[in-house]
Structure 1
């Protein structure tokens, strides 16, 4: 964001100097500066496991473009309790998103290149001091920010360049603290995500957008924790005279508390609780070789739910990836039969799948997962893990299972 300024300053230096250049990434534009203004520079790289910090837990959500606002608000309500930094690709997008979030009651502000420097600094100070909960920004405006308490970075729009992604999520997980990064993307943007994964050499975990029921549950828990914290800190003592006045007016404790909760706590309407998670057809094509390896050398599992339970391939994929915290690309072929199913997975996940999945449920039904040596019969068609049910045969597997008590 300051390339032109750097070039102008260095071009005006006409005496002998020692120049040190620091950058989180070294794109060609930066390398041109070193060649133009430095004399035989020595490059020093810090050794890390990857470009991105391991303290940052990176994940993404698949969502239709028309559902992105609703998905963002659910993510903000579910995962963030302190400061959240939301990135857009353009100044117009920042302005539009800011207006929408303000209308929805979020304590947020914005920065981008069209906002004057004094106002930007004022906004940053408010955000840094916790007076603003959500800051919406463009890449250029957020370069170089050092805000210690940013809990989550949310890519409302996936960045246009891979190094922008590194700069964005570098705003959290600083100084050894843990941080979260979430990326919202549509089916058409899967190639951009895969380019980011190759660039950072780190797969992103796919998460499920929370339901409104889950959001309301978390809101309730947070509200109760805040009340209990105030009671523990003795804050209620300053308001005893107000409480006594309410009692003297004939109000019961239950009526007073109910009125205060209604004023302070707003639940989202369950009538709008639709599933915002989208499927990922493109990713299947790009991971075909990986799937073939898993199907040949991985392990095969039996699962006690099938078509009659309303189970689809993406239900199994989402449950296994989410419950076991493993990449969806490490899950191979999924075969849905009438009363039970089979799926393949990379063998390094065998133990965690057996442990985690047998303590889980899919669509409210208890899950039983076992290793099996049953093979797919020749001529049968198994389900793509992203496609629809296609197997019409009865399986001759002798695998059995017991219902949970």
Structure 2
């Protein structure tokens, strides 16, 4: 279906009024496909990326099918992160703005549960929440799903990657039989298909074809750069492309903090967004980014789920994402609502294959740009200043500033000298920083000795593993330093898999998947190889967490 107007879908006047207020007239491809089936009460599997309008794809049917006279919970939307839950809830409120008797509530960790108790007592028909907090309310009896009619899993693949499968299944067991279920997911891995088979009845698959992925309006550029030069390159990209508001993605929380510290030291307004921040801290960071107090948001993938900020003119992949699909999620933060955007990706020579995978997946070309010299940057910046001044001379009233020129002219300076002095004042600070930048093209030589030594070390580990269930965090596992082996007190008898450990560790600690090495599962325990520098952090965090609902004890393995 294409070129479908909302007025052709037979929606109520209240919903149509809300859509008009929001400026929506034509349904996006995923909306045009999904809404008719959902209005008929069918179960739906929707495969769509971020930025495609999938919230409205299930939000509009929620508004149409829920009984306003019944104050009980009739719809439940599960989201992987607090940010996404807040965003979805905000979008639903807009759709429901002319349905005065329909109420929605976001519930998530990091917010006072007492506040949520009070809101629930007032009566809400739609709950938008994270799996952990929804399960908490179910355990307390403060949420009852006896009247549930519709259940939505938004970003289902991300929830499973973060280890929420057990919570999701527990929640589904609390729901009545035969309810309408809607699963939206960017990808369709085996665990998603298993859930649909178990909990959906003859679901309709609606899918955006690859050619419809929202990357056509985004200019995609990559630079091949050594890791040690990435920070200098980031400053160059900001200057060269005159970026104002940007999202920078890193794969770890530590890298986010380190990068923000460097950016702030360079006089740039940057803030970090990652899983170690409290909800109040996250709200403050996002408020500063939205109001322009800071113009660079450095985030991890999990923390960035659900953030929706207008006017982001570029996304920068400081680290190449671990999963191919994540690339689309990232760059979809720019070029929204029909506008154009830019995406810059920093790649070292070992990541060329992964970049090719991204191009195959998106069916788009990521154009290589050569590293510019400081002279080239300054030349372009001067050209930009000339253009800006021309625009100012043609469009602005400058009479209020004439007295400054006259005072200097009376002292014997001619107007050319005065203008040059203003240009020097405007450019001097940036020029000094640009001249200090030294970028070198990555060498094409062989991998270093440390990488070869690690390959041999991994080979010895493989030989020692015996009859354990084997798994890899990443087939290209190359740590930045020494490797530590962690001992977990769960094994085969607990029915855990390598994917369970990988999802739990990466989801809870922010460690990228490529930094998780061998995962050897025995009957009653498991060994996991990780970078030695991250071992203590993983032990500290994971010792307070569960894997497949079971508490774990984590410690360094005895060599």
In structure 1, which of residues 250, 253, 256 is the aligned counterpart of residue 418 of structure 2? 256
In structure 2, which of residues 333, 341, 351 is the aligned counterpart of residue 179 of structure 1? 341
* Matches of 2:328 and 2:191, distance apart in 1: 16
Is residue 241 of structure 2 the alignment partner of residue 79 of structure 1?
Answer: yes
Structure 1: stretches of 5+ with no match in the other structure: 283-405
Provide Cα deviations, 1:102-134, integer angstroms capped at 9, x if missing partner. Answer: 222323333222233344334334434444332
* Matches of 1:22 and 1:235, distance apart in 2: 53
The aligned counterpart of 2:331 is 169
Higher relative contact order (CA 8 A, sep 6+): 1
Is residue 321 of structure 2 the alignment partner of residue 159 of structure 1?
Answer: yes
Greater mean alpha carbon deviation, residues 197-206 or residues 63-72 = 197-206
Give the secondary structure class of the aligned counterpart of 1:49: helix
In structure 1, which of residues 254, 276, 280 is the aligned counterpart of residue 440 of structure 2? 276
The verdict on how the C-alpha distance between 1:243 and 1:116 changes in structure 2, with shifts beyond 3 A counting, is: farther
Structure 2: stretches of 5+ with no match in the other structure: 1-79, 83-107, 109-128, 152-181, 447-559
Give the secondary structure class of the aligned counterpart of 1:101: helix
The verdict on how the C-alpha distance between 1:27 and 1:78 changes in structure 2, with shifts beyond 3 A counting, is: farther
> Alpha-carbon deviation of 1:250?
4.7
* Matches of 2:337 and 2:302, distance apart in 1: 23
The aligned counterpart of 1:212 is 374
Contact 2:236 2:434 in 1 (8 A): no
In structure 2, which of residues 249, 253, 260 is the aligned counterpart of residue 98 of structure 1? 260
The aligned counterpart of 1:124 is 286
* Matches of 2:434 and 2:208, distance apart in 1: 49
Provide Cα deviations, 1:123-180, integer angstroms capped at 9, x if missing partner. Answer: 3344344443322211122212223322221100111112221110111122222222
In structure 2, which of residues 315, 335, 350 is the aligned counterpart of residue 188 of structure 1? 350
Provide Cα deviations, 1:267-320, integer angstroms capped at 9, x if missing partner. Answer: 1578657553325679xxxxxxxxxxxxxxxxxxxxxxxxxxxxxxxxxxxxxx
The aligned counterpart of 2:98 is none
Is residue 131 of structure 2 the alignment partner of residue 7 of structure 1?
Answer: yes
Provide Cα deviations, 1:343-364, integer angstroms capped at 9, x if missing partner. Answer: xxxxxxxxxxxxxxxxxxxxxx
* Matches of 1:204 and 1:225, distance apart in 2: 29
> Alpha-carbon deviation of 1:255?
3.9
Give the superposed CA RMSD: 3.1
Give the secondary structure class of the aligned counterpart of 1:163: helix
* Matches of 1:135 and 1:124, distance apart in 2: 8
The verdict on how the C-alpha distance between 1:29 and 1:73 changes in structure 2, with shifts beyond 3 A counting, is: farther
The verdict on how the C-alpha distance between 1:241 and 1:188 changes in structure 2, with shifts beyond 3 A counting, is: same
Q: How does 1:6-405 map to 2 (within 5 A)?
A: 6-8=130-132, 9=134, 13-19=145-151, 20-27=182-189, 34=196, 38-49=200-211, 51-265=213-427, 266-268=430-432, 276-278=440-442
The verdict on how the C-alpha distance between 1:46 and 1:269 changes in structure 2, with shifts beyond 3 A counting, is: closer
* Matches of 2:284 and 2:392, distance apart in 1: 30
TM-score, length basis structure 1: 0.60
Contact 2:243 2:314 in 1 (8 A): no
The aligned counterpart of 1:402 is none
* Matches of 1:80 and 1:166, distance apart in 2: 23
The verdict on how the C-alpha distance between 1:87 and 1:52 changes in structure 2, with shifts beyond 3 A counting, is: same
Provide Cα deviations, 1:13-51, integer angstroms capped at 9, x if missing partner. Answer: 332312344344445565566566655543311234154
Give the secondary structure class of the aligned counterpart of 2:339: coil
Give the secondary structure class of the aligned counterpart of 1:183: strand
- Aligned positions, number: 282
* Matches of 1:271 and 1:242, distance apart in 2: 31
The verdict on how the C-alpha distance between 1:271 and 1:132 changes in structure 2, with shifts beyond 3 A counting, is: closer
TM-score, length basis structure 2: 0.45
Give the secondary structure class of the aligned counterpart of 1:22: strand
Contact 1:50 1:201 in 2 (8 A): no
